[in-house]
Amino acid sequence: MKLILVDIPNFEPEINFEIEKKILEICKPDSFVLRFWQNNPCVVLGKFQEEEFEVNLKYTKRNNIPIFKRFTGGGTVYHDRGNLNITFCKEKENILFSKYILEEARGITEIILKGIKEFCKNCEIEERNSIFLEEKKILGSAVAQKNNKFFYHASLLVNSNLKELKKVINWEEEYPKNTRSPIRSKRSKVTNLSSYAPLTIDMVKEKILNNFLQSFKIKENNVIKIYNNNFIKIGNNF
């Protein structure tokens, strides 16, 4: 089994979401795809959410903060360069932990948790497949099955601007009555991993990558590394 590691130095959300679509194409039965990425400031909604109930639209418009919707479920998140996004993709039939999608997703989160615990031991996974540090959320995740692929997203607060996050996200606990929105974000207190340990995003990526390699028994010579900004054009060659 091979691991395709995608770590492209791009911070433009529009391009990053195009790369996510390309990952679905390059993922083959004999490989997993792991991607690390960061965005310039933006808001990302889950597939089934409505922005007027999740986002402070006056603030985002005034400050030119773009809003996007991903194809996985889950809640609304704020991205900036202090936020590490993690993508994992595999063939749906290539079962790692369970045939049930949510249990499979939890297995991936547990691998990420092992990497985080190398910096800070007192982290745990909550029932919604989020990671909490001293009762404050540092990671949320979402999952989808698309084109016969299992596709997992996670967003880890490493050194994010939490003041800006709270201005951008609509923090009201309840939606207006009689509104239709199938998925409502669960509000939690948040914190940065860097508040508890001296670290950088590159250090976090290294620990998480090593735990994926160990968990799936993948040797270094079976890792294909993609750092090319032209990945959207050349991706089918992998």
Does pLDDT of 22 surpass 70?
A: yes
CATH number, domain at 219? 3.30.930.10
DSSP the chain: -EEEEE------HHHHHHHHHHHHHH--TTEEEEEEE--SSEEEE-TT--HHHHB-HHHHHHTT--EEE-SS-S--EEE-TTEEEEEEEEETTS-SS-SSHHHHHHHHHHHHHHHHHTT-S-EEE-TTS-EEETTEEEEEEEEEEETTEEEEEEEEESS--HHHHHHHB---SSPPTT---S--PPP--B--GGGTS---HHHHHHHHHHHHHHHTT--GGGEEEE--TTHHHHGGG-
95-152: pLDDT as tens digits: 999 999 999 999 999 999 999 999 999 999 998 899 999 999 999 999 988 889 999 9
Model confidence pTM above 0.85: yes
Domain span at residue 158? 2-237
Q: Please say if the pLDDT value at position 237 is more than 60.
A: no
Average pLDDT (147-174) is: 90
- pLDDT category at 5 given cuts 50, 70, 90 is very high
Q: What pLDDT is stored for residue 235 in this prediction?
A: 46
Give the chain's domain count.
1
Direct distance between the N- and C-terminal alpha carbons of the chain, in angstroms, rounded to an integer: 14
